[in-house]
Amino acid sequence: MSTQVIDPTIIKKANQWLEGNYDDATKSAINKMIEENQLTELTDAFYKDLEFGTGGIRGIMGPGSNRVNKYTLGAATQGLCNYLLSSNPGKEVSVAIAHDSRNNSALFARQTAEVFSANGIKVYFFEGLRPTPELSFAIRHLGCQGGVMLTASHNPKEYNGYKAYGEDGGQLVPPHDKNVIEQVRTIESIDAIKFTPNESLIQTIGKEMDEAYYQSLTKLSISREAIQRQKDLKIVFSPIHGTGAVSVPPILKRFGFENVILVEEQMEADGNFPTVVYPNPEEEEALSLSLQKAREVDADLVMATDPDADRVGIAVKDDEGKFVLMNGNQAACLLIQYMLTAWEIAGKLEGKEYVVKTIVTSYLIDRIAESKNVTCYNTLTGFKWIGEIMTKLEGQQQFIAGGEESYGYLVGDHARDKDAVISCAMLAEVAAYHKDRGSSMYEALIDLYLEHGYFKEKLVALTKKGKSGAEEIQAMLAGFRNDPPKTLGGSRVVQIKDYLSGTSSDFNTGEKSSIDLPKSNVLQFFTEDGSIISARPSGTEPKVKFYCSVNAPLASREDFKKVDAELENKLGAILTDLGVS
């Protein structure tokens, strides 16, 4: 192989793997890349170490230091073990482990459990695939000090990952995330990883935990009488070959829904996701079979969850009887409006209640909360920050619901992560509630716009793969910081929030102020006409994302299409100005 066109440090690292205590299959795969001169593949596999980030690990499976495999996950687990043991001296430390339907998830989960047990840590190991939110619930229910979910969420089939959780059932936040990262970085050799299991410390869990989880969720139902009257509501559901298959149908039944139509082609757990291009309920293509089934049976509601069942996409009928997909902002607004109204009717709003959303999620939620005199907290992108607020305010204020535009929502405080299981149940309840009143979810959304203004959001994600892509993304963000736009969509930029520097700049007053949130590589532009544009690199995918939000008053239902077209044009103009249309 010619080494003239490849960084010699990559060759050196590949050779370290070939000479180290790695298994024969791993060495054979590396040799094949070398012998077949697969320079791009070899570079991407070894140009860096797969980072244990603030949420854990996610990446493409395969051999190499920048790939998800037994050894990179083993190093992550060993570092997590070291941190948990040093943080809990003299205590019995325990963790819970679950996995989704992805290829190798069950294998990686078992290997993770073995490393924990080899370090003397008690492991509660789910007997089969379970959703991410049930793991979060189990950590809290069992009093564990941590947990791990083997999943890459909605990423393509080539990916897998590892979400690390703390004792509150939430993904790691400062200072724990940084402390674990430091421990992982000290694992310089696989010889430092304890792979030999202590089987006596691995305890299988399953049905009893399911029952506790379901009971906790069922208590959250509010409109039981409406559900009873609308128990035949036609609901089409698909788990898109993931864990939703084991949890969503049972909870819908417990809530009282008796007419759930399953998309049978997607009910089988399959990490190849054979019926979709991309197992992401944010994408219309992933719901194509569900929509086909919905048209066949004339359904009222369509729901589909991602592989680890923490996100849900929905479709409803519009005023012409056609199925339309609701985006994550719209579903979150409807869900939170329903919860706050139900609490208000029940006389449960006492002034200590709150909801939480991320800074890139619709600001219509802020207006809804304000109208009910309920606090709305805004936090960084990533549900772990919502979970952090819940943990900080536990016992002081009452959490009602939270959500983010990326189709993740939580109702109730049983978990500290987004939960598509309870979200499916509560969204079905929202549909039953409105149908019982002679309305629909679509009409309820228009009602929200009539009351608070029409908020229209659009997300554009640019994919930039590999080392060069990562560098291009960083250069793009640096360009926006060094030379920010003066106008967007024909409206003057009046404020910029740079969450990396922690500074907010107001161009009307010339004042600068501090942002009371952890530092993050996010930029937000606020325009004179109320538009908000956010730019951030994805923390889990090779993408840079642009979140655009525009709004305008809506005077009547008849004006909806006209105002919608005007806002769509404004979004297009903003994206053109950003150079990402």
pLDDT digits (tens, 9 = 90+) for 388-407: 999 999 999 999 999 999 99
Residue 153 catalytic?
yes
pLDDT greater than 60 at residue 4: no
Strands (E) in 322-465, as ranges, are 323-326, 353-358, 375-379, 398-404, 408-411, 454-463
Beta strands 398-404 and 408-411: pairing type?
A: antiparallel
228 three-class SS? helix
State residue 512's pLDDT score: 95
Encoded amino acid at 401, one letter: A
Domains, the chain, ranges and CATH? Answer: 70-211 (3.40.120.10), 231-452 (3.40.120.10), 454-578 (3.30.310)
pLDDT band at 307 (very low <50, low <70, confident <90, very high): very high
Q: What is the pLDDT of residues 471-497, one digit of tens each?
A: 888 888 999 999 999 999 999 999 999
Q: What is the pLDDT of residues 313-351, one digit of tens each?
A: 999 999 999 999 999 999 999 999 999 999 999 899 999
Strands (E) in 328-482, as ranges, are 353-358, 375-379, 398-404, 408-411, 454-463
Q: What is the pLDDT of residues 502-525, one digit of tens each?
A: 999 999 999 999 999 999 999 999
Structure tokens at 510: 């010339």
State residue 476's pLDDT score: 87
- Does residue 533 contact residue 393 with C-beta atoms inside 8 Å? no
CB-neighbour burial class of residue 2 (10 A; exposed 0-12, middle 13-18, buried 19+) = exposed
Q: Name the catalytic one among 105, 117, 153, 221.
A: 153
Looking at the DSSP assignment, which residues form a beta bridge with residue 552?
A: 454
